[in-house]
Amino acid sequence: MKYKARALAAKLHRLLGRFAVVVVCGARQVGKSTLLRHELPGWDAVEFDPAVDVGNARRDPDLFLDNHPAPLILDEIQYAPELIAAIKRRVDRGAPTAGAGPKAARRTAGRRPGQYVLTGSQQWSVLKSASESLAGRAAFLDLEGFCLAEIAQAVPRAHWLQRYLDAPEKFVASQPGRLAAGRTVYEHLWRGFLPEADVLEEDFIADFHRAYVRTYIERDVRLLTDVGDWQQFGRFVRLVAALTGQEVNHSQLGREIGITPQTANRWLATLRGTFQWFEVPAYSGNTIKRISAKPKGYLADTGLACSLQAVSTPRTLSGHPLAGPLFESAVVAEIRKLAGTLSTPPNLYHWRSHGGGEVDLVLERDHRFHPIEVKLTSHPTLRDARGIEAFRQTYPKLDVAPGLVIAPVQRIERLSETAYALPWDCR
């Protein structure tokens, strides 16, 4: 498979130039190992397994590290958590400046950057152990499936989200270019954004996604939680795929398939812990009682959602009731991917009032708010920007930037004084 440049590569190198340890997290098959092999070609790499104690790393972590000196990539570190404490000890064995006292020695220790890269596909194991044991020594990087620029092999220095957050008025007054991905919107949604699905022929996409569910999701779930009825869990995963882009209601999830809200919450947490599901919290502002507090939930990959809902081809998505929610899921995931490349990512919220006002995404950075609506239409109108105007009127004291309606349009278009339509495949 030909390597496609990843937008996070530059950030990876920046972090390695400053931190002793970098932890790269993400779902299975998003390209963590491929990224590291390509960007760090001279590094030794070891991949761990849940059934085999590779190199006796679990039994004798110090001896293992003696035999594998830094710089070192440790892949799927959740299967050898004993190594984390040993890594901490090695990182802390810095050589203090001559004559330095004990406090200065502790500050100096571990400042040699770029010693270890850890990867993991189970959020609970990796983040809990590493964040507690390697505090101040490690930086974290979340890798997701391909963004549109990666698919098109046209990763820019400054993508549209960065330009929009930095200078929104200047951005909407420009005419930014579009990416040449060579696929329709529906094909993007149906294929999804996992690297393997990007290169497969259409006839094999469904087989790939079915295998992904069986090989990776169920395998990881078995390691993380006790599921008594796997058929019922499969129904649960199909249900959350059908509810992507909606507010999360654990009671509703439980009622639909006959499980308790507590079980639904636990299973959903498991999907979050394996990076298959993510949530966007509600924005409350100063009118907490009038705003819904429920987060919106999204299946991380639209191709997987299509497979779980038995959508057989890209063409059948046209007119499908899930087409709109899938498009919103793809756009929200795209913004998350682009935000992850920034030094200071924005906070992401959704907004919905009991009066009917709704905005799919509200980005907050430097106490400026950027409302974004997502519409699967090639001809958005002022009506599609009503939620943006409602948000602005609800919070007249907030600094609200010009809003965007992201849609499959050809060029940026002005919808109102404060809202613009933007191509979803903007550079």
Q: How many angstroms separate the CA atoms of 353 and 338, rounded?
A: 28
Residue 205 maps to a domain = yes
> Which residue has tokens 């404490």?
85
Question: Are 228 and 86 within one domain?
Answer: no
Q: Do 270 and 390 reside in the same domain of the chain?
A: yes
Specify the 3-state DSSP secondary structure of 359: strand
Taken in order 389, 395, 400, 404, the sign of the CA dihedral is: negative
Which residues does 373 contact at the CB level (< 8 Å), separation at least 6? Answer: 359, 360, 361, 384, 385, 387, 388, 403, 404, 405, 406
Q: For residue range 130-170, list pLDDT tens digits in order.
A: 767 788 889 999 999 999 999 999 999 899 999 999 999 99
pLDDT value at 319 more than 70? yes
**pLDDT for residue 109 is more than 50:** no
Does 246 lie in the same domain as 217? Answer: yes
Q: Give pLDDT tens digits for 258-292.
A: 889 899 998 999 899 889 999 999 998 754 544 55
Domain's final residue, options 142, 165, 198: 142
Instruction: Out of 126, 142, 158, pick the residue that ends a domain.
Output: 142
Q: How many CB atoms lie within 10 A of CB 294?
A: 16
Q: Could you tell me the residue range of the domain that residue 236 belongs to?
A: 148-423
Do 170 and 219 fall into the same domain?
yes
Say if CB 220 and CB 276 are below 8 A apart: no
Number of domains in the chain: 2
CATH of the domain at 54: 3.40.50
The H or E element that residue 358 is part of is strand 358-365
Domain contains 199: yes
- 332 falls within a domain: yes
Q: pTM of the full predicted structure? A: 0.92
DSSP states along 374-399: E---SS--GGGGHHHHHHHHH-TTSE
Instruction: Please check whether residue 182 lies inside any domain of the structure.
Output: yes
Considering the domain architecture, whether residues 127 and 172 belong to the same structural domain is answered as no
Query: Among residues of the chain, what percentage have pLDDT more than 90?
Result: 73
Per-residue confidence band for 98, with pLDDT thresholds at 50, 70 and 90: very low
Residue 221 binned pLDDT confidence (cut-offs 50, 70, 90):
confident
The per-residue pLDDT for 97 is 35
Q: What is the pLDDT of residue 384?
A: 97
Comparing 149-158, 245-254, 293-302, 397-406, the range with the smallest average pLDDT is 245-254
Q: Are both 173 and 71 inside the same structural domain?
A: no
Where is the domain boundary, 94, 123, 142? 142
Q: What is the pLDDT averaged over residues 9-18?
A: 97
Q: What are the tens digits of pLDDT across the range 378-399?
A: 999 999 999 999 999 999 999 9
